[in-house]
């Protein structure tokens, strides 16, 4: 395949992924049809199938891209003594990605293929975070590293949920609440 053809295919895949993201955010995975994705991408359904075998293949590519981005962003940001900063950094990630990952998590409860994709994505993120902590703190046992990563993941995923799902905890926005909590934890 020539470089020019590969570049055109990548552009088209990017357009399809962008269209699918919009459709999935508006209608959910079940509600978004290939026809809606095709319309959003200004393509025919048949053209989409030239690039992706199924809606699940589009979802798999979205998960891969989101996880690749998060792993790249994670570099240097997984030190255990920097948890407040880590949670503050968490605010800078793409809120659209967060919402899509929540949608994917919900779909994973109904669809074994999506569940398997989410398990693989979690394994990649978990292994990457463990490697960062192991590098920064080589004296820690593997069990302690795994515990640190698990606790951090729970806090970050809970932060995503609380930021995106309306809460009844006060008048401040989730972003304001999280920012205030981070300052409190960081400053004692």
pLDDT in tens, 152-173: 888 888 888 877 887 776 555 5
10-46: pLDDT as tens digits: 999 999 999 999 999 899 888 899 999 999 999 999 9
Question: CA dihedral in degrees (168, 170, 171, 173; nearest 10)?
Answer: -70
Alpha helices per DSSP H over the chain: 3-31, 34-41, 45-51, 55-74, 83-90, 95-108, 112-136, 142-164, 174-187
User: Is 76 or 2 the better-scoring residue by pLDDT?
Assistant: 2
187 confidence band (pLDDT: 50, 70, 90): low
Using the predicted structure, report yes or no on whether residue 116 has a pLDDT greater than 90. Answer: yes
The share of the chain scoring above pLDDT 90, in percent, equals: 39
User: Is 175 or 111 the better-scoring residue by pLDDT?
Assistant: 111
Q: Are 185 and 84 in contact (CB under 8 A)?
A: yes
Using the predicted structure, report yes or no on whether residue 51 has a pLDDT greater than 60. Answer: yes
Q: Are 89 and 77 in contact (CB under 8 A)?
A: yes
What's the rounded mean pLDDT across residues 47-72?
91
What pTM was estimated for this model as a whole? 0.69
3-class DSSP state for residue 78? coil
81-102: pLDDT as tens digits: 555 555 555 555 678 888 888 8
Which pLDDT does position 33 carry in this prediction? 94
Q: For the chain, give the mean pLDDT.
A: 82
Q: Taking the chain, what is the end-to-end CA distance rounded to the nearest angstrom?
A: 58
Tokens (6 digits) for 152: 């951090």
Which pLDDT does position 188 carry in this prediction? 47
What's the rounded mean pLDDT across residues 123-152?
90
42: left (phi over 0), alpha (psi -120 to 50) or beta: left
What's the rounded mean pLDDT across residues 108-133?
90
Which pLDDT does position 138 carry in this prediction? 92
């Amino acid at each position: 395949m020539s470089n020019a053809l590969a570049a055109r295919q990548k552009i088209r895949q990017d357009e399809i992924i962008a269209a699918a993201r919009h459709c999935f955010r508006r209608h959910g995975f079940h509600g978004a049809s290939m026809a809606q994705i095709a319309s959003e991408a200004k393509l025919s359904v048949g053209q989409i199938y030239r690039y992706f075998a199924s809606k699940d293949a589009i979802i798999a590519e979205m998960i891969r891209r989101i996880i690749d981005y998060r792993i790249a962003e994670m570099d240097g940001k997984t030190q255990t003594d920097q948890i407040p900063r880590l949670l503050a950094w968490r605010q800078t990630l793409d809120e659209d990605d967060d919402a899509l990952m929540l949608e994917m998590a919900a779909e994973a409860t109904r669809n074994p293929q999506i569940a398997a994709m989410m398990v693989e994505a979690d394994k990649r993120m978990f292994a990457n975070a463990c490697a960062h902590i192991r590098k920064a703190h080589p004296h820690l046992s593997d069990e302690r590293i795994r515990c640190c990563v698990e606790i951090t993941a729970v806090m970050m995923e809970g932060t995503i949920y609380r930021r995106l799902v309306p809460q009844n905890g006060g008048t401040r926005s989730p972003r304001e609440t999280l920012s205030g909590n981070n300052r409190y934890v960081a400053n004692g």
